[in-house]
Amino acid sequence: MNLVALAGGVGGARLADGLARCLPPGSLSVIVNTGDDFTRYGLAISPDLDTVMYNLAGLAHPINGWGLVDDSQQMIEMMRRYGDEAWFGLGDRDLATHLLRTQALHSGKLLSEVTAQLTEALGIKSKILPMSDNRVATMVETVDRGLLEFQEYFVRYRWQPVVKAICYDGAELAMPAPGVIEALEQADGIIFCPSNPVLSVEPILQVQGIRDTILNRNVPCVAVSPLIGGKAVKGPAAKLMDELSLDASSRGIATYYGTLIDGLMIDTSDSDLASAIPQKTLATNILMPTVEERVRLAHELLDWVGKL
C-alpha cells in the first residue's frame, strides 16, 4: 500500500512518524510545507522539512517540537553576546543541516535533491518531498504589526498578533517538486496530517496541480483533526481560525477541507460534533505525544482507510 501524507511541522511529523513505523519501508511519501522556509544568518532554513526529517530519523527533540534531541545552543548564546536578538533558535548540531542545505542550494542543487540526500544519510526509508522547489512564502497580515513574514509572526512575536489575512507569496507560480504529483497519483490513500490547515496544509494545496490531483483521485482521503475541544494541541491553529472567522473546531476542519477529504478522525471528546460533519468520522484518542501513541493512532487510521 502506497500512502501519501501532507504535513507541516509538529502535528504532521508526529503522525508521519507513526505511519512510517506501521507501513512497510518505502511505502510512505510525506509532502511537506515549505511556506515557512526563510533565510537566517545567510542560511537556508526549512523548519517543517527538518521537523519531519528529525522525527522520522528518531532524532527529534522530545519537548520543543523543533530541533534535535541532546542539542546545545552555544552559537545562539554567542550571537546574544554580540548583541544580536537571536529570536530564532538554532541548535549547534542542527546547524549542520542548514549549512549543508545552504551549500547545496548555492551550488545549484534543488531543495528536493538536498532533502533526499539528507534523509538518505539519516537512514530514513520514507520519501520526504518538499511541496515545491520554488520559493513560496507564507505572509501574515496582522492588525497590530502589519504584514509579517511567517517566522516573525510565529517565533519572534509568538503568534500573538491578531491576524487579518494570510497570503502565500509565489504559490501561484510554484511547480510541485519532482515526485510530488507522481506520489499522489500512485497513492492508495492520502492523509491530511493534524497540521495547521491554514498555515501548513493550505500552502501545499496552493502549489500548481496539487489540489486538483487530490480532487481527481478516487482513493480514500482522510484528515486527522489538529483540534481537540476547539483548542490546538500546540500553536495558533484555533486562535488563527477564530481570527479568520473560521469555525475553530473539528467541524470547522471538516468544512475547511470540504470535498478534498472523505473522512475526518476526531477526538473522542468531540464525538458530539460527528453528526454536524458531512464526511465520515472516526472518534478516537487523537493526542499522540509518545511514539506508542503515534503508532496506535496510525494503526487505527490505516484500518479505517482500508475500510473506506
Q: How far is the CB of 18 from ligand GDP (least distance, A)?
A: 10
Is residue 111 a contact partner of residue 129, using CB atoms and an 8 Å limit?
A: no
Distance separating alpha carbons of residues 282 and 268, to the nearest angstrom = 9
Q: In terms of CB distance, is 109 or 296 closer to ligand GDP?
A: 296
Q: Exposure of 250 by Cβ count < 10 A (0-12 exposed, 13-18 middle, 19+ buried)?
A: buried
Q: How far is the CB of 224 from ligand GDP (least distance, A)?
A: 5
Stretch that binds Ca ion, among 9-17, 94-102, 211-219, 225-233 (CB under 5 A): 9-17
Q: Which is nearer to ligand GDP, 24 or 296 (CB)?
A: 296
Distance of closest approach, residue 127 Cβ to ligand GDP, in angstroms: 18
**Shortest distance (Å) from residue 261 CB to ligand GDP:** 15
Smallest gap from Cβ 148 to ligand GDP, in A, equals 15
User: From the CB of 199, what's the least distance to Ca ion, in Å?
Assistant: 7
Map the footprint of Ca ion across residues 20-59, applying CB under 5 A: 36, 48
**8 belongs to the binding site for Ca ion (CB under 5 A):** yes
Q: Based on CB atoms, which residue is closest to ligand GDP, 39 or 103?
A: 39
Residue 34, contacted partner among Ca ion, ligand GDP, none, CB below 5-8 A by kind:
none
Residue closer to Ca ion (CB basis): 37 or 270: 37
71 makes contact, choosing from Ca ion, ligand GDP, none, with CB < 5 to 8 Å by partner type, with: none
Question: Could you say which residues in the range 218-237 bind Ca ion, by CB under 5 A?
Answer: none
> Does the footprint of Ca ion cover residue 9 (CB under 5 A)?
yes
Measured CA to CA in angstroms, residue 174 lies from 7, 28, 278 at distances of: 18, 23, 32
Q: Identify which of residues 219 and 248 has a Cβ nearer to ligand GDP in the complex.
A: 248
User: What would the DSSP string read from start to end of the chain?
Assistant: --EEEEE-SHHHHHHHHHHHHHSPTT-EEEEE--TT-EEETTEEE-HHHHHHHHHHTT-B-TTTSSSBTT---HHHHHHHHTT----S---TTHHHHHHHHHHHHHTT--HHHHHHHHHHHTT--SEEEESBSS--EEEEEETTTEEEEHHIIIIITTT-SPEEEEEEETGGGPPBPTTHHHHHHH-SEEEE-SS-IIIIIHHHHHSTTHHHHHHH--S-EEEE-SEETTEESSSSHHHHHHHTT---SHHHHHHHHGGG-SEEEEEGGGGGGGGG-SSEEEEE-----SHHHHHHHHHHHHHHHHH-
Residue 35 interface partner, choices Ca ion, ligand GDP, none, CB cut-off 5-8 Å depending on type = none
Torsion of CA 165, 170, 172, 175, to 10 degrees: -140
| 20 contact choice in Ca ion, ligand GDP, none (CB below 5 to 8 Å, kind-dependent) | none
| Complex with Ca ion: residue 36 or 94, whichever CB lies closer | 36
Binding residues for ligand GDP (CB under 6 A): 7-12, 14, 48, 65, 194-196, 200, 224-226, 232-235, 237, 286-289
Minimum CB–partner distance for residue 163 and ligand GDP (Å): 14
In the bound state, the residue with its beta carbon closest to Ca ion is 9
Q: Name the site residues for Ca ion (rule: CB under 5 A).
A: 8-9, 36, 48
